[in-house]
Structure 1
Amino acid sequence: MKAAVLTKPLTNAHVKQIAGQFDMSDLTLPFWGYRKKMPMHRIVRLEGEGNYTVFHFDDGTQLMVSLTLKKMQSRLPSNVFVRPHKKNIINLLYLEGIHPDRQQLSVSLVNGDRVEVSRRKASNFIRQVKGFQQELQAIEA
């Protein structure tokens, strides 16, 4: 299998512009005694840590909330946020490349993170990426 070449990674300004097309409103997150709205388009990936989820944002900051990855997945648009592995959810707007190795498929994100794709989810993940790219091309046309 050859490495899949994706379209050129999007700039932050372009991501913000496209976010409205994909119904990416603000996400309300619980904190100690209050709730805070975070722009969904700034989330690069989410990482599960037991009963907590670590958010990785486009500016390099991280934020931990006391919700499971499964609960967070239900709050995110499934056409933009995909779960390639039980421990991660990635934002396809920040996908840089797909890297097939001998036994393990992985993806790289624009912030430098590399996330493995589980073997069981690989074919569905590739299908989701292709569908997303088609949506993106339709928006830009």
Structure 2
Amino acid sequence: MKTILLSRPLTNVHVEEIARQFAMPDLTLPFWGSRKKMPMHRIVRLEGEGNYTLFHFADGSQLMVSLTLKKMESRLSPKVFARPHKKNIINLLYLEALHPDHQQLSVSLVNGDRIEVSRRKASRFIKQVRGFQQELLVLDAKPTTPMLVAA
């Protein structure tokens, strides 16, 4: 099995910058009788467990909410989040490598998680990853904040 490394891992500063450029809002989640705002770009992946969704965050913390994965998918940015399998949604900012195999494609994330890609969703998932990488190249090519020159 040949592993395809995608690019260098993104730093927290780079993730914050990309989230700003993609205009990724905070996600309001129901949490113990109240609501809690969570930055969307800090979510590494979402894992469906029946009528619940388990959030895995970049800092290693987890949070379970009583909403289905399908409901959560509609609230996420489609530019950055991909659903490689019916049980998982991943944030492409945290994608580390693709692991193609003649039987099964899987991906590894920067937090060490390894997720299988369903055969039915594999081609669309790979297209989404390539499109996302192209978008990152375009963002990298754009100059960031313009420098001010004193007159």
TM-score range, shorter chain: over 0.9
> 1:95 corresponds to which residue?
95
The answer to whether 1:28 aligns with 2:5 is no
Structure 1 segments of 4+ aligned residues over 4 angstroms from their partners: none
Alpha-carbon deviations, 1:58-108, whole Å to 9, x = none?
Answer: 010000000000000000011100000000000000000000122000000
**Aligned partners of 1:32 and 1:91: how far apart in 2?**
25
> 1:116 corresponds to which residue?
116
The answer to whether 1:46 aligns with 2:66 is no
- Give the partner amino acid of 1:74: S
Q: How does 1:1-141 map to 2 (within 5 A)?
A: 2-141=2-141
TM-score of the pair, normalised by structure 2: 0.90
Q: CA deviation at 1:2?
A: 4.7
Structure whose alpha-carbon radius of gyration is higher:
2
Gaps of 5+ in 1: none
Q: CA deviation at 1:22?
A: 1.2
Contact 1:23–1:77, Cα closer than 8 Å, also in 2:
no
**Aligned partners of 2:29 and 2:83: how far apart in 1?**
19
Contact 2:2–2:101, Cα closer than 8 Å, also in 1:
no
Q: CA deviation at 1:25?
A: 1.1
TM-score of the pair, normalised by structure 1: 0.96
Q: CA RMSD in A?
A: 1.1
Question: How many residue pairs align between the two structures?
Answer: 141
- SS of 2:16's partner is helix
25-34 or 124-133: bigger deviation? 25-34
> 2:144 corresponds to which residue?
none
